[in-house]
Structure 1
Amino acid sequence: MQKYFLGLKSNLPSMSPIDKSWPARPYSFLEGVHAELRRIFHLWRCKKYRSQFTEEKKAVYEEKLEASELFKDKKALYPSSVSQTFKGDYLEMVKNPKYQKLSSAIDEKILLADVVNKINRANGKVGCTFFFNSDYFVLKKFSNLIIMGKLFCELTNELFHQGSSSAVKGDFLLSSDHLIEIVTKLHRISSLAADREKLNVDISDEFLVQFKQDKVCVKFIQGSPKNGNSVSCKRKNNRLLEVSVPTSP
């Protein structure tokens, strides 16, 4: 037993929680003990790893976990987004003089500020608009005035649909390079707020939107290599909006 424990001590794997290695069992009668020590060691190093986290880092990993629960094995390009850090304020509103006036008008902390492209309902061309999300200011505005539900394409990280309460103009179709982060933050906030309805997220390669009086089908197809790595939208007729997505991440 002394030889077993000293040998195990000298051959322990690294302190990384994702290290799956474990020394081979030297004696068959210690099979149960060997497995239990592996479990205990792993739990201990996970605890040591978590103890190093600041509150800010904990929040980052919690958001990444929520993103995994929403998109893992559902979106083809999700794996490529895992290593991308959720930055939140991509416009640097506090530092950037261009947005300081708007930033000062928001009392709460800005959780996300980004530029998104708005798809023109008439022809499918891409325009530009701003997307701001704070703990209260914009989230309340979005939940009350714009967002009724969301649909996302399985093939691309870039396009999402927001239902609108406005029957005159119809739904919004927005394109963003940080779609997974935007949706994760919105979903997380709606889940934590007791006075708000939880945001439902659906993923599909084909769905209906309301453009003024018309019901239009948004259909995603694989683009050709000549289209490059960008997403392109084209209104085919009154009933179809075709979105061409890159053939590879």
Structure 2
Amino acid sequence: MAAQKADQPVSTPTEEPAWKQRAVERSTQAAKRRAEQRVERFLDAAQAIMAEKGTTDFTVQEVVDRSRQSLRSFYQHFDGKHELLLALFEDAMSKSADQFRTIAAEQATPLDRLRVVVQALFDSSRPTQDATQRPLFTDFALRLLVSHPAEMRVANAPLLTLFADLMVELETAGLLRPGFKPRRAAALTMQTVMFNAQSSGQEGTHPITSEEIWDFCAKGFTLS
């Protein structure tokens, strides 16, 4: 084959026509919306089953049947039950952080903002009054903390950020204990609140209240 002449222009790839780019983009967006809808149906089905059973003890097939979708579709979006539960837990934590930030903004002082968030987290993480469980918090979260600590840190990130922001406000106002770093104080407070809420009911006939957990977190157990 003869060599290309030096002065012969080199051909360049032709850019896709604008109409074709728009068509592909619409198709991609539509596929994304359908995938999001399928995921939401799986999540809603799992939530409904947990609400009925009061536990995370269910099968993937139950979720598939309740969502009226296929098993193949489920595994296109989730590796298995653990990933489904993790998605539910991350979503719950993210929504909780948004809700808590909203109620905190209604308070006038840094200490009051932290107080309402501590109490709201405690109340939302404990068993319900009719003795049914919030299984994502009382069952799955405790197991996740032990078996998958890295995943737990990711799921807790939005809430930890909120607590850290509130601790920074305390520090700025001169109300944080000297020597405590805001993010570390935030992590300690969150862990104390959530663990005690999730194990609530195991301490006998006098369960810990949100007021008690706040008093302990804010003052500790010393007289100073």
Q: Which TM-score tier does this pair reach, normalised by the shorter chain?
A: under 0.3
Choose between structure 1 and 2: higher strand proportion: 1
Using structure 1 for the length normalisation, give the TM-score. Answer: 0.23
Structure with the greater relative contact order (CA < 8 A, sep ≥ 6): 1 or 2? 2
TM-score (norm 2): 0.24
- Decide which structure has the larger Cα Rg and report it: 2
